[in-house]
Structure 1
Amino acid sequence: MAVGRNYSTTHDVQAIVRMNPDVLNLGYAAGHAAALCIKNGTTPRTVDIHALQRHLAEIDVLPADRLDDLTRELPPPTDAELRRAAQDPANPTNLLTLARGEQAARQPLRDELARKSTVATAKALCLLGDPAGVPLLTAWIDETPVADGPAYDWEGFLSVPELDGAMWVAAIPRDRRATAVLVRKLQQCRAETGFNTLRSVLMALGRIGDPAAAPALAEFLRKPGVRGHRDIGTQPNSVESAQFSRAMVELFAAAALFRCGDSDGLARQILTEYLDDWRGVFVRYAGHTLGAR
């Protein structure tokens, strides 16, 4: 279960983060929601949010006198609202309207793409899982050069290059027409390429799961500096950003290769090695990948 925003300051050890009332209340709300799931035998998506909010108001986590204002539900967007939003999906408010419309937003976007082909429209379609946006978006990706992106740190997550976001979104429909373009982008990458770029192209290929991408993924894993970042507890500095991000890239590449059918057992070997890593998040990621197939 993931809730709210990510709060972290040097691995959550600073009191200014740990003792923040909002963080504590967020943790309580998540815990209560999880308890409701267990009690009722349901999943987080089916939790009665209004009942949870009423409980939070009873214990003074939410202001009871403003509960109606804070918990007001938006009605689904109308057809007219979806058509207007589809005319300019680059506008964040319009994109939110389209996302709320879910499947109903697809046809207005398809109509707009036929009328005026734009990358923003193609992105919105892919974001909704519609493969109609794949050809135009991948053509744009293909002609956009890989740039030097920010390193893995908090600033890097605030400024994701447009190319990286486009590669991520292009894979959502799981349309194999995107594979060749993403493979060409991967072939332009090396171990020193920006973290966001590597994460985007590797996870995009893994999401699609096309065996045609396996040779390129195996080739990337054999490039200098990509492999060998597992740590069984002998290097305390392996939790620092530079070392941590290198291990993540190795894991992302191995997971993508595994989901594309593997290559001579290379992906399975790397993922299995990470089951002995001392960084728990890597152990869980490797184990989840191995068990998901």
Structure 2
Amino acid sequence: MLVTGLGVSAHRDALPVIRMQPDVQNQGYAAGLASAMAVRNGQDLRHLDMRRLQRELIGVGILEAEVLRHTDSFPLPEKTIREAATRGPTDLFTAAIVMEYPELSHPVLLETLHHDPDSQRREDAALILGLNRRKEALIPLMEMVDAQEWDEGWDYTGMHQFGMSMSRLDALIIALGKIGDEAAIPVILRKIESLDENSAFSHCRAVSIAAGAFTDSRLARALYDLLQKPGMLGHAHLRTAAVVAEANDDPIETQARNRSLKELILGRGLYLCGDHEGLGRRILETYANDLRGQYARHAQAILACTDLQSLKKEVM
């Protein structure tokens, strides 16, 4: 599958017009030409002769001849990488740099983590290092997660899928789980125990992902107990009657989907971390027959996996 980045944005009502613009149509042509060249030469797209592709596109008037003089920006200079790591992941560009060049950026982030007087910069460094499974971030992340009350989470919202879809604390908890050190289990446990049926989906997802990195009876029991709280179970749509029962007058209603997502993702985490009383498997088996294909396919894929350790890494 070849995916292209359009590099354009528009309100959805303007998309029919945008689709007809030459730049967008030309991009589709370029993707098709690249694919055809790869097939013709029996090679992967990554090994495609880009200069040859550019010359073909110049020949049909899609590109200007000057592009043949353009050079790639990567790999980035060491100075740029160190400067980005010093600034920290303050925007998407610097975050991408520090994630792409761990050998050069991690020493700088470790220095920030241990010696920077700014608590926000220390937290930023701990987050990136944790997401990269650096054990040096374990104790700082444990202290940060333990010290914070739940912030404003995110619930599934149809037609409004913008932004991070998780809170800052959610991200810190997931980073803690990625490190995979059992010393973090009591901290994750306390966060699970503080949730209930009114908690945001993103909070439930964060603890589920973090717990799923371990195989631990304490975490399994905590997720089991959370799922036993009122309103947490029974949201699969196995028959049309269930769909009708949860319908309302909101044209972009998402409450039913949000409840189902909580149940499904918590069930997955329970299944991965020890599955107390087999509840996680039962939830997955139920959703494997859900009328909503995306929920059913996800549950089926989890159940079909025979290597749980690989699955844990994939989920993380």
With over 3 angstroms needed to count, the CA separation of the structure-2 counterparts of 1:108 and 1:52, relative to structure 1, is: farther
Of 242-251 and 151-160, more deviation after overlay is shown by 151-160
Q: 5+ residue gaps in structure 2?
A: 309-316
Instruction: Give how far 1:277 is off.
Output: 0.7
Aligned-residue sequence identity (percent) comes to: 25
With over 3 angstroms needed to count, the CA separation of the structure-2 counterparts of 1:187 and 1:70, relative to structure 1, is: farther
1:136 aligned to 2:140?
yes
CA separation in 2, counterparts of 1:86 and 1:24? Answer: 38
1:119 aligned to 2:132?
no
Question: Counterpart in 2 of 1:224?
Answer: 230
Q: Provide Cα deviations, 1:37-72, integer angstroms capped at 9, x if missing partner.
A: 9x9696x8x564948974994797964546558883
Q: Provide Cα deviations, 1:160-201, integer angstroms capped at 9, x if missing partner.
A: 432122223333333333322122111111122112222222
1:183 aligned to 2:189?
yes
Q: 5+ residue gaps in structure 1?
A: none
Secondary structure of the structure 2 residue equivalent to 1:230: coil
Question: Counterpart in 1 of 2:277?
Answer: 264
CA separation in 2, counterparts of 1:188 and 1:102? Answer: 35
CA separation in 2, counterparts of 1:173 and 1:215? Answer: 22
Q: What's the C-alpha RMSD, in Å, of the aligned pairs?
A: 4.1
Instruction: Give how far 1:227 is off.
Output: 1.1
Question: Alignment partner for residue 163 of structure 2, among 158, 177, 183?
Answer: 158
Instruction: Give how far 1:279 is off.
Output: 1.0
Of 176-185 and 148-157, more deviation after overlay is shown by 148-157
Secondary structure of the structure 1 residue equivalent to 2:179: coil
CA separation in 2, counterparts of 1:225 and 1:95? Answer: 38
Letter in 2 for 1:197: H
Larger Cα Rg: Structure 1 or Structure 2?
2
Question: Alignment partner for residue 255 of structure 1, among 246, 268, 274?
Answer: 268
Secondary structure of the structure 1 residue equivalent to 2:276: coil
Whether the 8 Å CA contact 1:53–1:62 is kept in 2: the answer is no
CA separation in 2, counterparts of 1:31 and 1:145? Answer: 51
With over 3 angstroms needed to count, the CA separation of the structure-2 counterparts of 1:184 and 1:290, relative to structure 1, is: same
Of 148-157 and 195-204, more deviation after overlay is shown by 148-157
Whether the 8 Å CA contact 1:258–1:268 is kept in 2: the answer is yes
Q: Provide Cα deviations, 1:90-116, integer angstroms capped at 9, x if missing partner.
A: 422433321221343223322332333
With over 3 angstroms needed to count, the CA separation of the structure-2 counterparts of 1:223 and 1:110, relative to structure 1, is: same
Q: How many residues end up aligned between the 2 structures?
A: 286
Of 246-255 and 100-109, more deviation after overlay is shown by 100-109
Question: Alignment partner for residue 290 of structure 2, among 270, 277, 281?
Answer: 277
Instruction: Give how far 1:19 is off.
Output: 8.0
